[in-house]
């Protein structure tokens, strides 16, 4: 047996088929204004934003081991920055979304320096406390509506597009683009040298440290990037809602609990998991929404059953059963092709 008889590759038949199908689906979704109704586009836009949030939380918790229950801090921060930059800074909403991301990165640096001193459950509790501090702080800002919140002025809304249909199409494309960019960014990051270090940390933090990987710096970069992109998604969310209040912006239920549910049932620590989890979450929500609080009880029961029966989520079951992956991240050894 010689090494030259084998080759190392990341792609497979499944990844090539998945790439082709993914491009076809993306093209169809870009053309959605031609075939989808207003309600369908609004629902799909919401789905894309949740997919982006879940992919970011999965990168942080599933790969870096930073289990945060306070990501609503950056969702709300991004939303409030959108309102402040457009209402008082006079910026176009799209430019304000980008700047909200930069400000999210800036504000996350002192937060990270503080909560990175905590470990395990204390880290999770610390992130929730920080989010509450954000909520209480913005509730005191009277120029942004204080505790009752504020609505986006009509002039700023009309700056997006002249017609209502144009504004809805732009909001939809921004949501679709954010999900596509986040998934592509996470994919490219995991294929990079830093991504390889992050994967090593996920598999065995002690062994990764012994190999010379700077664990603190790697996690710090992941936290800052995740905070920046989460703030941009938060700005997009409240650009669609056109109104913001402290309770809505920093809702732990909407922006963290549901996101954790999506990642857990889909498969934590995989790129495919959040995609499957988001589709299942919206399927359950749209099917059971009329049942009131029973809907939340069903979600909880589904999460408990999956955590007990399939700790790696639905995608973990599929991957173990068929030994496939849709994104070419793992290295595979196969016999080399003869000339």
Distance CA 194, CA 291 (A): 45
Mean pLDDT of the chain: 89
Distance CA 71, CA 104 (A): 11
Please compute the mean of the pLDDT values over residues 232-257 and round it to a whole number.
93
* pLDDT tens-digit readout, 293-332: 788 888 889 888 988 888 889 998 998 888 888 888 777 7
Residue 157: other Cβ atoms inside 10 A: 16
Exposure string for 259-290, b = 16+ CB within 10 A, e = fewer? bbbbbbbbbbbbbbbbbbbbebbbebbeeeee
Residue 182: other Cβ atoms inside 10 A: 25
Residue 3 has pLDDT above 80, yes or no: no
Residue 1 has pLDDT above 60, yes or no: no
Beta strands in the chain (DSSP E): 6-9, 150-151, 243-244, 332-335
pLDDT at 207 (0 to 100):
81
* Residue keyed to tokens 């090593």: 200
Please compute the mean of the pLDDT values over residues 125-147 and round it to a whole number.
92
pLDDT at 192 (0 to 100):
86
Residue 15 has pLDDT above 70, yes or no: yes
Where is pLDDT greater, at 185 or 206? 185
Pairing type for strands 6-9 and 332-335 reads: antiparallel
Instruction: Find out whether 224 and 113 touch, Cβ atoms under 8 Å.
Output: no
Segment among 7-11, 254-258, 307-311 with least mean pLDDT: 7-11
**Predicted TM-score of the model (pTM):** 0.92
């Amino acid at each position: 047996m010689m090494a030259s008889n084998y080759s190392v590759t990341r792609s497979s038949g499944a990844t090539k088929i998945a790439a082709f199908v993914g491009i076809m689906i993306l093209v169809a979704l870009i053309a959605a204004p031609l075939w989808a109704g207003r309600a369908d586009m609004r629902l799909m836009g919401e789905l894309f934003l949740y997919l982006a949030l879940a992919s970011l939380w999965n990168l942080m918790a599933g790969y870096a081991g930073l289990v945060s229950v306070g990501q609503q801090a950056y969702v709300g921060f991004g939303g409030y920055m959108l309102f402040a930059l457009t209402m008082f800074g006079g910026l176009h909403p799209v430019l304000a979304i980008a700047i909200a991301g930069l400000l999210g990165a800036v504000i996350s640096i002192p937060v990270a320096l503080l909560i990175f001193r905590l470990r395990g459950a204390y880290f999770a509790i610390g992130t929730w406390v920080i989010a509450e501090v954000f909520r209480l702080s913005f509730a005191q800002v009277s120029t942004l509506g204080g505790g009752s919140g504020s609505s986006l002025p009509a002039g700023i809304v009309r700056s997006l597009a002249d017609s209502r249909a144009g504004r809805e199409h732009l909001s939809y494309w921004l949501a679709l683009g954010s999900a596509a960019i986040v998934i592509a960014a996470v994919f490219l990051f995991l294929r990079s040298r830093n991504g390889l270090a992050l994967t090593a940390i996920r598999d065995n933090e002690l062994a990764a440290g012994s190999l010379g990987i700077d664990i603190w710096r790697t996690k710090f970069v992941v936290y800052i990037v995740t905070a920046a992109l989460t703030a941009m998604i938060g700005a997009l969310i409240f650009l669609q809602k056109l109104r913001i209040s402290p309770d809505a912006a920093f809702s732990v239920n909407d922006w963290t609990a549901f996101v954790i549910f999506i990642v857990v049932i889909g498969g934590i620590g995989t790129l495919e998991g959040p995609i499957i989890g988001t589709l299942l979450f919206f399927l359950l929500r749209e099917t059971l929404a009329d049942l009131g609080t029973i809907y939340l009880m069903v979600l909880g029961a589904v999460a408990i059953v999956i955590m007990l029966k399939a700790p790696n989520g639905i995608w973990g079951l599929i991957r173990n059963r068929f030994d496939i992956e849709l994104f070419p991240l793992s290295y595979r050894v196969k016999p080399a092709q003869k000339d």
